[in-house]
Every structure is written in structure tokens, then in C-alpha cells.
Chain A
Amino acid sequence: MMGQFRHSLLGRLLADPMAVFAMTIIVGLVVVAIFADAISPHDHTLMNLADRFAPPSSTYWLGTDNLGRDTFSRLAQGSRIALYVAIVAVSISGTIGLVLGMIAGFGPRWLDNLLLFIFDTLRAYPTIILALALAALLPRGLSTVIIVVVITSFSEYGRVVRTQTLSLKNAEFILAERAMGASAARIVFHHVLPNVLGPFFILAAMNLPVVITIEAGMSFLGIGVPPGTPSWGATLKDGFDYIRNTPWIIIAGGLPLILVTLGFTFLGEALRDQLDPKLRKSR
């Protein structure tokens, strides 16, 4: 039993200190997001102008912002926004990329060229410029942030999945399946899909902090969530605006972004180490 666990993916990850560190951060983030209301010492919307710009103390663990709101409580609520945007945006863009990538890899040449053209065009477009353009057209809010992330990132998944599919398409075991009269659907769902999921999940794990950073960046620029929403980017923006009054807001706003980026990046690397057969062999 123990031996089985040790050889499972989770077991191998738990044996890797970097993965354990990453998972600790991620589990912590999830716990904070789920229990944000319970662990917040103050109402994150409550303004107390008499206490604005307060430094960290036993009352305000990470100090207060320009409106006297508790920074820790706002960051705890912000973790929900970060996770929500990351999971929803990565799920949607990943699914679109997965489907289109397999169609491109398995479909006729002209369709592959067309999809490749779309992927490359979208990848070439700078995220922030696209975000600025879309923000001018769409109402401000999380939906717009998610749309921006989906449009800018699904092509990345599509590219990776297409490459994997193309390499599998002419593999001997697929040719054998074909020779035995297997349908295209059977080949895609039983053979191609399971084989592209490894790289797909690594990419998704690596992309989660990117998505969180895009949301924070858009909110920092004032084109993300509406003012008052306790997103991490909005806290950073408040910190930047009042950096000369107090450095605490920007320090507190930056910390969770750094931690989460490290957590997901380390997890992605640990997953790659475990899922990539070449890397595993070289260990």
C-alpha cells in the first residue's frame, strides 16, 4: 500500500521539498479564500478615516489603507477574487485550447494552418494593450478580466496541444489502432487526450500565477475590478498612490502576489519533473 502511494504522483510530489513548499502555499491560499469571512478580523468594506494609513499593529495586522479599511481583511477577501479569476479563466481558456489544439493536430491541413494562424496572431498581441482595448468596450469587472485572459491565453494551450497531437498522430500505436479500424473519436479520446493531458496540466499550473498577475495588473491600471473591490491589484494601486504616506499598503499588497506566483511556479516545475519521462529518467 505504502509502496503504491510512494509511486503515485502525489507521493512523488510529497517527496520533493520544492513541491511541498509550493503545495503549502497553495493550500494556504485555498484555506484563506474559503474561510476569508471567518479569519478577517474586520469588515473589509468598513471605512474608518480616523485610522487611515495605520501601520501594522495588533488591531490591524497589516495596517490600514487610505480609507482606514483593514488591509489584511481586504487581502483575505482578495484571495477569493484571485482564485476565482485564475480557476475560471484557466479552465475556460484551457478547454478551448485543448479542443482547438486537438482539432488542429488531428484535422485537415488547411484547418491546421488556419488555427495556427489564429494562435500565432493572438499570441503576438500584447496582453495589456488588448486589455486596454477591451476595457474600453466592455463594462468593468471580473467578467472583462476573464475575457481578456481567455482571449490572450487559449492560443498557448492550443499550440502545445497541437504539437503533442501531431507527434502522437503518426505514432506506431495510433497507426495500429487505425489499421484495426478504430474511429477518429476513439483515437482522440482514448489515446491522444490522455497523452496530452500531462503537458497541458503543467502549462495550466504555470499559467495560474500569470492569470492572477494579469488580474492584479489590470486592477492596478484601473481597468480591472471597480474601485472598492478588494482585489490584490487594487490594494497595490492604493499602495502606489499613497506610497509617500505609508509603505505598508504596497508591501502588504505585493506579498500575496509574490507567494502565490512562487507557489504555482514551483508546483508547475515539480509537476513537469514528475510527468516528463525524459526528466524523470535523467534524475
Chain B
Amino acid sequence: MNDPKTTSIFPSLTRRQLFAGTAALSAATMFPIAAWADGSRLNVRAYLEPDDYDPLDASGFLEELLYGCIYRKLIQYVPGEEWDWQLDLAETIEQTSPTTIAFTLKEGQMWSDGFGEITAEDVKFSMDRHMVEENNSRIKPDLGTFTHVEVTGRLSGIIHMERPFAPIWTIALPYLAGTVICKEAVEAAGGKITTAIPPAVSGPYRVVEHRLGERWVLERNPDFSGEAADFERVDLIVVVDDSAAEIAKEAGDVDFTSIGAGSVQRLRDNPPADAQMTLHPALFYHWIGLNVQNPKFEDIRVRQAIMHAIDVPSIMQAAFFDVAEPSTGIIAPGLIGHRPEGLIPPQADFARARELLDEAGIDRLEINIDVLNNVTHTTTAQVMQAMMAQAGIDLNIEVHESGSFWSLGVASDGDRWKDLELTIKRFSMTPDPYYATAWFVSDQIGDWNWEQFSNEEFDRLHDEALSETDPDARDEMYRRMQDLMEESGGYRFLTHGVTANLFADSIAPATRPDGQPLVQFFRRT
């Protein structure tokens, strides 16, 4: 029995042991600091939180940001100024007929965690599952007329389409729907990736931790078959607010972030130390939509008066700080279908607007606009309110939080969609016009087509353009479709905006032509 006076809950330590332990502890705590100091860690801001690791649930670029780091595709976008693709998993890939694409995978491309080689069966599993009705894939429309993948060998297969689908090279294969996941791992997990950490990855990084609402912690994937990633650790940090993200960059908490248009001029005038800013023409499209089915706007002259009373250059100056150009439609410059100019000039014509209202027998018009609670769109609405008053139009602004705003035009969320008047929206975009027009066909009324625009010619052209492989013919079709939208009086196109990125000198970022980061290609300088 020990003497109670000398018994301790701590193990007995000699002074030498204490010094040795302290030294070891100090060395251990210094390790991450050293990793940070030599630039082997990269912090990238995500403006929203990606949904999860399963492409079935993916909805947009935020998932692509994560998937690009941990998964691979047959082909990937090339970083740079021009939209193009490069081989990734595919050794060869070619269009063998208007409805078939043959591919062969590179030898020896491995899954992590002992799941073996990536095979054509994985490609088939990954793409075919989007077509299964019960899977409720949110990105099924990205695959267009795709029907299935036929496996012809261990590493080869044929992609089949029902009829030609031009965007397969620009949307389906290099974006979310083309993400290849591990058949064996996902089937073992019950057919869907719902685990806290993905069971198998193939990209340059793997997930080690997900802190909900805060960050994804990734580290270099030791099983990656390509050139090893430059960074030992990548954190995708969720910072919703642009100003907060800019402050985080200045504080050194993030190395790469997009920033708001309001900061561009200030940073041009006072360039930050040890950082660079780049501007990229974005693909997004912002527009003011008017519900053409609302009885208040039955007379097309009223709709046209409203469109003429919106001064787009003033909105560019006030809400976009003159760093973005007015747009001519929903398709950005450089893409098939871009119109050099719209039917109504960007400048307002208040006299014409007043004249049209007089012709329609309206002295004073009171209308409502619903906007999302973000500074760009609320500022846009305030500028509109001031401008439209000059034409005798009183504009009431209704601001909504994200959840309530995005349910306004949805039929399954109540009857509010029928009474909508004006809205300001921004949709994301991929480098094919199909992705822009898809939301304005008649079938989308009560879903994404809040303007309730319904035009037979538009619907027919959208369907035909999908399978049209002649670029000139497609170009003509999409231009005509935007003319039809504008002629309806339901659309006032604002801008595609710009993507402004701010990043540390210590990194060489890689972005798509629209400025969205491709983190898997980021390097140290």
C-alpha cells in the first residue's frame, strides 16, 4: 500500500523527463505552423455549403468545387480564358456517330481505400443512375438525351443518346453529371453516398473532416493516380457574405475568394499587399422578369412601358459599380446564341414609356417587385423605383429571404406564383445555351419559368436546338429564342456580371473562363 501522502493521480516525472516531454510537445505543436508557413495548406472560400458527396443531390457550382477535388471525370474543363475540355480519366474519347461516343479509360487509375482500379463499369454506374426515376437526380436535365452507357471492355465503353445532344461535350461530361463514382463502394453503402466521409475517392484530394456550416477539410490523396497535388491540405471554408470573405482574405484566413463588385474599384485604387485581383466575364444572367399572365399586364403596351422605364446603365452604375456590362439576353458573349444587341436598348426611354401607358389608358400604375435579400438586387430595385417614378409607375419593393424567395414562383408551394408581378433573379449557367433556355419553356411554368412565358415557337426551337449539331444553325435558333422572350414584354435583361477573385501571391489559382475556381489545378508559386 502506498503512503497516502505521496500518492498522486499524475505519473511521477523526473525533471529531465519533464523537459524532454515539453520539448516534444513544442515540436509537435510547431508542425502545423511549419506546414502553414511553407505554403502547403490552401484555404479557399465557398460562398455556400455544398450539399453532399453524391452527384445525385448536386445542384450547382458549389458541389463542383468539392467534387473537382475528390472525384474525376472522363473529361474536365481546361483552366484559362477559353472554354475547352481536356482528357481526365479517358485515354481516348470520340463521337463515333451523332448518338454515340466511344471512350477508353487510362490504365491503372485507382480508387482510394483499396477499391481497386477505375473501370468502365464505374462510368456506367455513375451516369446511368441519374436516369433511374426513383433516384430523383437533380441534375438529370444536364444529361439531355443520354440513355445509357454500354460497357464494351474492362476499360472501354460507349455512351448512347436517344438523339444528338450538342451540350454533351460542354455540360454533361465535364460538369457535375460526368462525375465518376466508385460502383463497389457506393453499392456497399446502400446505393447512395450519405456517409460523413465519402467511401472512395479518385481525385487529388480526399476528405478528412466536414465541419457542418464551417468547412470541408481535405488532404492530399495518396492513392491519386495523376500528378500529386501541390498542397498537403485544402480547406473549403464557407463564408456567405462577400465583405466577410474579403476581410478573411486580408486577415490571411483564406487564400482565394471571390469578392463583391463594390470592392473592385477600391482594390484597383489601393491594391492589397501580397495579393492579386482578377476579373472574369461571368456566365450568370441577371434579369427583371414580369409575369405576362398577370391580368394587370394583359395589355402588352403596359409590359413594354415597364421595360422602357428601366434604365439598365443606372443599375450597372449603382448596383454593379460599373464593373459589369449590360447584357443583351441570357446567353453571354463568346457562347453560341449570344446576341450582339437586344431589341430594347439598355437606356430607359421615359417618354416612350409614358406614351405607351397613355395609349393603354393608364394614368398611374402601381406594381410590385419581389427581390432576394441581397445588396445587389435590393439596390437594383431601389434604382428602378426612382427611375420608374419618372414614367408614372409606382414600384413597391418586397424583400425575401432565400427560402421564401425561391418558392415564390413554384406551383407546388402555394398559389402565390399566379399573382407574381415583377421579380429580379440571377441564374447560373454552363457554357452551352441549352442550359439557359431550358428554364423558360412552357413546361417550366410553375417551376422556374416565373414569367409564365409560353410560346410554341420558343418551345419548338429549344427542342430542335438540342439536337442541332451545326453551330451556325444553333446560333441562329438561340438568338431567335431570346428575341421571342424580349418581344413578350416579360424580360428586361440586366447583365452577366463579373467574377472578381482576390487571392494570395503565394498561389497560382486555376479558374474556368467565367472565373469559377478549379481547385484541383491550384498550384503554389
By a beta-carbon cutoff of 8 Å, the part of chain A in contact with chain B is 45, 47, 49, 52, 66-67, 132, 136, 139-140, 222-223, 226-228, 240-245
Contact = CB atoms under 8 A, between A and B. Distances in A.
Contact of B266 (A45, A52, A66, A244): A244
Given A47-B383, A136-B404, A243-B243, A226 B318 contact: no
Contact of B262 (A222, A240, A245): A245
B379 A245 contact: no
A222 B397 CA distance: 12
Nearest to A139: B398
- The residue among B318, B382, B396, B404 with the most chain A CB atoms within 10 A of its own CB is B382
Given A67-B318, A241-B243, A140 B262 contact: no
A223 B373 CA distance: 9
A67 B262 contact: no
Instruction: Indicate the size class of the contact surface on chain B.
Output: 20 to 34
A52 B381 CA distance: 17
B399 A67 contact: no
Contact of B399 (A47, A222, A244, A245): A222
Nearest to B387: A47
A161 to B, nearest CB: 36
15 contacts: A47-B318, A47-B383, A52-B318, A67-B382, A136-B404, A139-B398, A222-B373, A222-B399, A223-B401, A226-B398, A227-B378, A241-B375, A243-B243, A245-B262, A245-B266
A244 B246 contact: yes
A66 B321 CA distance: 10
Nearest to B372: A222
A49 B311 CA distance: 14
A136 B246 contact: no
A227 B369 CA distance: 11
A136 B404 CA distance: 7
A148 to B, nearest CB: 15
Contacts of A245: 262-263, 266
Nearest to A226: B397
A243 to B, nearest CB: 7
Contact of B318 (A66, A140, A241): A66
Contacts of A244: 243, 246-247, 262-263, 266
Interface string B243-268: 10011000000000000001100100
Interface in B375-421: 375, 378-379, 381-383, 385-386, 396-399, 401, 404
B314 A49 contact: yes
Contact of B397 (A136, A228, A241, A242): A228
B262 to A, nearest CB: 6
Nearest to A224: B399
Contacts of A139: 398
B455 interface: no
A52 B383 CA distance: 13
Given A227-B379, A244-B262, 17 more contacts: A47-B386, A49-B314, A49-B317, A49-B318, A66-B318, A67-B318, A67-B379, A136-B404, A140-B399, A222-B373, A222-B378, A223-B401, A226-B399, A227-B378, A228-B397, A240-B243, A244-B247
B190 to A, nearest CB: 36
- The residue among A45, A66, A132 with the most chain B CB atoms within 10 A of its own CB is A66
Interface in B23-69: none
B321 to A, nearest CB: 9
A139 B396 CA distance: 11
Contact of B398 (A45, A66, A140): A140
A39 to B, nearest CB: 23
B261 to A, nearest CB: 11
B384 to A, nearest CB: 10
Contacts of A140: 398-399
Contacts of A241: 243, 262, 375
Contacts of B262: 66, 241-242, 244-245
Nearest to A238: B375
A268 B318 CA distance: 43
Nearest to B404: A136
A22 B246 CA distance: 41
A243 B401 CA distance: 22
Contacts of A243: 243
